[in-house]
Structure 1
Amino acid sequence: MEIIGYMAAILIGLSLGLIGGGGSILTVPVLVYLFGLETEQATLYSLMVVGTTSLTGVIGAYKRGQLDVKMSLMYAAVSVLIVVITRRLLLPLIPMELFTLGGFAVTKSIATMLLLAVLMLLAAISMIRKKQGAIETPASTHQHKGINIQLVMNAALIGFITGLLGAGGGFLLIPALVFVQHLPMKKAVGTSLLIITLNSLIGFLADAPGHTLDWTLLLGITAMAILGILLGGRLGRKISSAPLQKGFGWFVLVMGCYIIFLELVK
């Protein structure tokens, strides 16, 4: 199962390199079902994997001039704070067993995986419905503005999702950067990767001291994901991302449904 897990880690990075997002949402299921980690530990490990892998993508985006550092820092000013609050203050307050429904005990672990599965379904629908024209849209003539209430709300939501579920939330970030902040698509992808990097790595560093970490496993998975994003970056220059995005969206949709089934019947 670990061999399959490492292959899946490459797939996570590959999706980030090819379509700019979506792959990080698979990190926690890979860690839980293929590597046998507890859910809360998996969300912590995911922050390291997602953050480091995204950082690799940020370097490439910076070299290509597809990065709005100012916008990234404005988002991160809010979202990083929410990530840290969620990891250090909120998660410890959630009881291990939440409630019982018809004899079925809904635990913290089950609730986390079900929420992640719902997020996967939303991400999948977003990837499947996105049209080629939306991906290739030229730069908007509007310029993004400074911090506003919508930016703060979007950043807080991303921070909460990252802190609670260990997912980057790129499928929510990119539309917000394109349609609300008026960034060109390619710059929005690079900018979202920097926001995800800051959220994930700072969240990991804030929470890691309270946990015992298997660094061999963690660094191994991270290395495979980085290999994937490097391969994806090279392939992305040669092939269109639109059909790949739709195909990956269907894969994430199936996986989300499978996780819901698995958590409800076990």
Structure 2
Amino acid sequence: MAIAVISDIHGNLGALDAVLADARERGVERVVNLGDILSGPLDSTGTAERLMALDLETIRGNHERQLLEQPRAAMNLSDAATDAVLEPRHRDWLSAMPVDMWLESDLYACHGSPRDDLEFLLETVEPGGCRAATPAEVAERVAGIDAALILCGHSHKQRAVRLEDGRLVVNPGSVGLPAFADDHPHPYAIESGTPHARYALVERGPDGWIPHLLTVAYDWDAASALAAANGRDDWARALATGYA
């Protein structure tokens, strides 16, 4: 049976609904959510309501942690916009999420890396920008995780990498934000190059887990217009183009 893997929705309810519909059309009933669910200038509460009703297997990302732990004055713009509209029951839902999860005996899920929700697993940020991590770097970051399949999010970069020891690491990409720029720990940009929503299907085959990396069309012009109306032209460009 296939499992749909979603991550980094960032309050983009239109993209989320399109991805969930695509998974249903493919006959997939089990959906796993890797975090960074609400933060942004789009529809945080609508996204929370949709997912609370679905009760998916979900782990928290760094933005959930920041929403729960930081005062609003210390938050970035995306977290602060979400913090302003969340109700106590939304916060209770976020608080109940684990930081990682064993979904099967050989299937492990985290948001960033197993050791840090702010660390990319399949990318490396350095003074010159962001590049694909080497197999040795990935192996070091998943040391001690004895799983045939390791799921991660956070970087928004859709990718699957098989390590020398046979372990498969899959990032489903971002459902709701195809590009962004950041400066932690150095300035860099992540750009998918198209505005599509992204997710992954993973299924167990005779020779182990098989990843399918998928893109889904949705009304990204409406999402871009909403971001612009809420004062986030950076998000508006990213949502409309896939470029930061």
| TM-score, length of structure 2 as denominator length | 0.27
Write 1 or 2 for the structure with the bigger share of strand: 2
Write 1 or 2 for the structure with the bigger share of helix: 1
Which gives a bigger RCO, structure 1 or 2 (Cα 8 Å, sep 6+)? 1
Structure 1 or 2, whichever has the larger Rg, is 1
